[in-house]
Amino acid sequence: MNQQRPTATGIEATFNASQILVSKTDPRGVIRYANSAFVQISGYSEAELIGKPHAILRHPDMPACVFKLLWDTLQAKKELFAYVVNLCKDGRHYWVLAHITPDLSPTSGEIVGYHSSRRAPVPAAVTQIRALYAQLRQEESRHSSRVAGMQASSAMLHAILEQRGQTYEEYVFALTTSSNSARLAA
């Protein structure tokens, strides 16, 4: 049964800053577990999420190169912190600061799934990451193929981060830290 993809409405959904959205997937990214906070914000029922690819939540504003970075990092059996915008069932969207880790078999060390815990990001960080992601998506759209667009935006992201002297995770932490400091000072 194919589900119709919702159309993004531009309306932001928010969740309580004390909540943690949790999901677990198999190695292909198919959802095996979703906690109640994750189910609630997504707008899908638990039954609609379990057994579906996590990409059911992919928002069109997410640059493909960020997902490539995410998958490359996870395939290397490393964790990643990333800002992600997800698409709700009703077309609204919500931003998260995601911590994604590979689940490794204790006997073989092979990846048996993924675990993601997401927190509500600070709005100032979202403002900055949204601008970066818009640049990356614009670069992706300039190319005739999805692969070429992803390669070009990956090169752009790498150049921006190199100029800053940071990795993507260092950039994420810098945004998070500076945004939290500004919020606490207010």
The tens digit of pLDDT for each residue in 94-132 reads 999 999 999 999 999 999 999 999 999 999 999 999 999
**Torsional class of 29: left (φ above 0), alpha (ψ -120 to 50), beta (otherwise):** left
User: Domains of the chain by range and CATH?
Assistant: 21-185 (3.30.450.20)
Query: What's the rounded Cα separation, in Å, for the pair 161 and 58?
Result: 24
The b/e string for 110-144 (b: 16+ C-beta within 10 A; e otherwise) is eeebbbbbbbbbbebbbebbeebbeebbebbeeee
When the pLDDT of each residue in the chain is averaged and rounded to a whole number, the result is 93
Average pLDDT for residues 177-186, to the nearest whole number? 53
Provide mean pLDDT across the span 138-150: 95
SS3 state at 100: strand
Q: How far apart are the first and last CA of the chain?
A: 50
C-alpha 77/C-alpha 109 separation (Å) is 9
Q: Does residue 180 carry a pLDDT above 80?
A: no
pTM: 0.90
